[in-house]
Structure 1
């Protein structure tokens, strides 16, 4: 991500920072405009009010993981059965969130923000999470870019082109980091602040009043939730933030990504907790597959085949989609579809046509099932997705469409592993993609084009947990009958590394990819499946 040249200024904690707040990252004149004493005081207040509860909920995740490892399976909660069966709806949506037929996503890089807002999509989700490598410069420059975008002063001069906003732009939403990620460059009372509260706090503090004055509002996507209690915490954060800045309750709207297996069993409960602030749910398909493996572990009956075979039409994924759509429409709110990660293949028109046809067919599936909108990763895909939803959903959304007469999915349907095979090519692809993404991420880039797809951290997560599962599940074999052993994995790893090393050159390999190789190997061969690769990777990030 770009960093605008600014003179570095001394960061005096007794002047620029409130009491017991310390900023460890560098401060330029531009950074100081968003890292103001009042903004840092607001972040500190969020930390002091909610950090203890955040840590309790993270510990609860650990306890649930241990229960799942011991044989317990995720299921619908008995204690909230009455809530699921009751009739209620979330609060009314603002006008600019009624039609979300196509949303584009990408990191908070300046050029990306301008192009995405100008893309013709209805919504742009500016991502502080999976598509952003959270270097200090990326994080703070992203906040500067968002501030300028809200005020419509954002621009970028390059030798080839000047980038400015069109008169009509997409509605802006922001995805902060998940509850699990810290921001190591800011300390409050000697503790690292939550990345989620830092991202949310700075954006909300600087922009909430401006957004409301412009006829929109502070809108968010919430990632990686694993329970309704984590949604409750976000709701409490929203209420506190609105009270502190004297903004009416319910002004904040948030869409929750259902991208963990435990959260799929608590969709009604999550909407209930956020009912004054809810803008619906989203099918975060790649992270959902990652969470499926992480939750169910090395039990043979839940072993997944090659990632290319785990499509949205296999039974467990289809059940997950059906559950999200039914839950949202019953509660009067949007059910958003998944990501089309394809990017244009400019040097091969035939392959490009095939890729666009895949996107078209996937969006037809989503619109036909009842989704109220969908995601794309590149501006070139916006017209493709718009054409499908304009034809199949001429109204702003499908919330009022009669619900399916199919019974809601059972726990068994959500847990059923799809059939398929594991191949050497599948293993190689997982190793290769994980290493290429991790190397780019360590280099500061979290949104990486790989093999004509725009990949983010979820892709690397799926890749490494599949390798872990195949290596640790008893009697796992390739389709050709060979056992998947540490020796086979290491042989394929060495082949991939040798090829990558020749391709990127020795200097680049040593600077970025050497660490990626060691990290991936450690995660894949560990006895326990690590929660997130971004946690140990963050330790080597600037």
Structure 2
């Protein structure tokens, strides 16, 4: 494949070489566009990641996150975003999941307004499925997608009124090791964005929609400015008007909650909403305060949106977004339906309580992970919205100012041995699935993704570091964790059966869990080491 005509000073290569079977996705034209983007923007990503590390070093030394004095004028001045397209003004319910073919069809057919096709937390970026995911989304946009289940013979096809499609690209920390620029892997985010945008922008616009994206894991407004530059360059390169690309940014890191105005401002031509990425936000709270013994979280199961620091985050996001004309999306309900009627009633009650809190706070919509919960979650927002499409009229302008102290407040709750052992089994099962190529896994009644697994392992790491006592009086040490890990592996083997255990990568996953949890330094993301094990 000859890209010499497009190459300037940088060299583009592929490891392994592109095959004929991959060239339908990796066309000369798409790769030329990707090459231009990567040549122009990839070198800035290490600088942004280095800035994250420098900031974390300050938190490790005792600093507490706060609003930035140097950007006070952005927070205080009157301005608003460019606007929201018609098909994104009603987002009362969104469903998320990886771009697997059957899942794409089921999600687009669900009783939801938006489907977020996810190349990030619910996806394991094995090279083949990455490319197949792009094919699936292109087929969905063309309304030609279908799937025949070889086991059951069941046929899946797209309905007449599919949900609006949004693509979530990988975070800036993740690389695409199969595409090299001057011998170095390019950012996975650029790969995902470039292919989806280049391949689909015309058809999306012809359908009355557009190239819409979710941006994950941002930690600072400089990262938003980088994305804005990428969007502007892409629009100019393909002759599109400014603001054609629209983005929703997940506020799922603790540093980012203090820069929401600045993130909106730097993306104001392209942004339409912020989203409460609650699970990664909890993980980020642990990571940010990893050296702070007074801010160690309790059991993951009790860290709910009713906790003061999380409720403050939700209300501040609503107030900030609505003041600027942007929508404020609620977070994920990770529950999945149960076949047991009594347990399912409990699940639906939890969903109703959770979504009622979000609707009351003023959110414009929310997320579910399973189509079976769509009706319950949507009914809450249907009742709250009435004949409105959103809650942009809920300004919360008369609220007392939300302070840094509220947003960083320590969280009350027990640390239990039962909770720790549960976290071990969840994290090992998720890591095993991820390194086997599956990033979205039902475990113990919840749809687990990378974010929830990150909480499980990081929480234990923090308990070990600060030698926290459990509710039964036992102290959490590395040796105690290792003993629990060995015992829970035996429990897990009994739960899933010896055959499944032996066929899987559970021993490898347990080893990875042990290394992540007992290392001197808290690893930024488990997916970074896991990615090295993927094809």
**Match in the other structure for 2:506:** 513
Please say if 1:352 is aligned against 2:353.
no
Which structure 2 residues correspond to residues 115-514 of structure 1 after superposition, within 5 A? 115-158=106-149, 159-346=152-339, 348-394=340-386, 395-473=388-466, 475-502=467-494, 503-505=496-498, 508-509=501-502, 511-514=504-507
Change (3 A) 1:15 1:93: closer
- Listed one character per residue, the Cα deviations across residues 466-523 of structure 1 (whole Å, up to 9, x for unaligned) are 01000001x4101111111122111111111122234343674475122211111111
SS in 1 for 2:274: strand
User: How far apart are the structure 2 equivalents of 1:352 and 1:466?
Assistant: 28
- Is the alpha carbon distance of 1:17 and 1:515 closer, same or farther for their aligned partners in structure 2, counting shifts above 3 Å? farther
Partner SS for 1:90: coil
| Contact 1:18/1:37 (<8 A) preserved | no
RMSD: 1.6
State the 1:30 CA deviation: 4.5
- Whether the aligned pair in 2 keeps the contact of 1:120 and 1:169 (CA below 8 Å) is no
The Cα shift of 1:23 comes to 2.2
Q: Normalization by structure 2: what TM-score? A: 0.96
Cα pair 1:31 1:141 within 8 Å, conserved: no
Is 502-511 or 126-135 further displaced after alignment? 502-511
Choose 395-404 or 192-201, whichever is displaced more. Answer: 395-404
1:22 is paired with a residue whose SS is: strand
Instruction: Between 119-128 and 159-168, report the one with greater CA deviation.
Output: 159-168
What are the ranges of 5 or more consecutive residues in structure 2 without an aligned counterpart? none
Structure 1 residue corresponding to 2:74, chosen from 63, 79, 83: 83
Name stretches of at least 5 consecutive residues in structure 1 with no aligned partner: 1-12
Q: Could you tell me whether the CA contact under 8 Å between 1:446 and 1:457 is conserved in 2?
A: yes
Q: Using the TM superposition, name which of 404-413 and 444-453 deviates more.
A: 404-413
Q: Distance in 1 between matches of 2:400 and 2:19?
A: 57
Count matched residues: 528
Question: 1:9 maps to what in 2?
Answer: none
CA distance in structure 2 between the aligned counterparts of 1:535 and 1:300, rounded to whole angstroms:
26
Judging changes above 3 Å, is the alpha-carbon distance between structure 1 residues 402 and 59 closer, same or farther for their aligned structure 2 residues?
closer
- Alpha-carbon distance between aligned partners in 1 of 2:264 and 2:3, rounded to the nearest angstrom: 42
Higher deviation after alignment, 46-55 or 259-268: 46-55
Contact 2:356 2:380 in 1 (8 A): yes
2:363 is paired with a residue of what secondary structure?
coil
CA distance in 2, matches of 1:104, 1:25: 34
Aligned equivalent of 2:91: 100
Residue by residue, what CA displacement relative to the aligned partner does 1:12-35 show, whole Å, maximum 9, x if unpaired? x54799653222247554421110
SS in 2 for 1:34: coil
